[in-house]
């Protein structure tokens, strides 16, 4: 078993779990997300990791783009805040997840506030589409409430046993 720095890092989705015990399970195909929120979180971390294959595979077939090109992408996605979920549970076949995703580009902090729709086909959740409510620079000193925010500092020490 390898123990690279990357692998023991706290998952960027902010769950507080280490990446291999969180979204890493979905990215590697070991497990399927059983809720819309879990899929949303894993897609966020897939964006952060430039995992185009996972993003395309978890996208509704009728909505997904032919390809994703990250070669020009410079945004560093670093934290996620789940604001609200409607349905999207294990017994549902549709779900809506409202979230804010935060990234740094050229040293400036930005956010994107989106409401995403998810559908379950068979036993598997897929991203359908989303509406961006707001996006822009994160205001200096703005106080995100810390819910689900688990970024650079303290949590890197976290390691599940």
> What is the binding site for Zn ion (CB under 5 A)?
11, 13, 15, 22-23, 41
| Sheet of 108-121, strands arranged across | 76-87, 94-105, 108-121, 124-137
Give CA–CA dist 58/44, Å, rounded: 12
Contact criterion met (CB below 8 Å) for 126 and 97 = no
Cβ 13 to Zn ion, closest distance in Å?
Answer: 3
- Residue 134 host element (H or E): strand 124-137
Residue 22 vs 119, nearer CB to Zn ion:
22
CB of 88 to Zn ion, least distance (A): 16
Phi, psi of 55 (to 5 degrees): -60, -45
In the complex, the smallest distance separating the C-beta of residue 41 from Zn ion, rounded to whole angstroms, is 5
- Are 83 and 98 in contact by the 8 Å Cβ rule? The answer is yes
Q: Which is nearer to Zn ion, 41 or 120 (CB)?
A: 41
Nearer to Zn ion among residue 13 and residue 36 (C-beta): 13
**Residue 69 Cβ, how far from Zn ion at the closest point, in Å?**
24
Q: Which is nearer to Zn ion, 41 or 117 (CB)?
A: 41
């Amino acid at each position: 078993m390898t123990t690279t720095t990357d692998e023991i890092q706290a998952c960027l989705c902010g769950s507080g779990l280490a990446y291999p015990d969180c979204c890493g399970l979905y990215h590697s195909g070991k497990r399927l997300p059983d809720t819309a929120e879990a899929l949303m979180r894993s897609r966020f971390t897939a964006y952060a990791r430039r995992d185009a294959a996972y993003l395309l595979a978890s996208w509704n077939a009728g909505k997904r783009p032919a390809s994703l090109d990250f070669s020009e992408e410079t945004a560093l996605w670093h934290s996620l805040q789940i604001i609200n979920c409607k349905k999207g549970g294990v017994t549902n076949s549709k779900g809506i997840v409202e979230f804010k995703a935060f990234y740094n580009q050229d040293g400036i902090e930005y956010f994107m506030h989106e409401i995403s729709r998810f559908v379950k086909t068979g036993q598997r959740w897929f991203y359908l589409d989303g509406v961006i409510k707001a996006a822009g620079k994160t205001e200096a000193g703005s106080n995100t409430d810390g819910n689900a925010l688990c970024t650079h500092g303290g949590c890197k020490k976290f390691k599940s046993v």
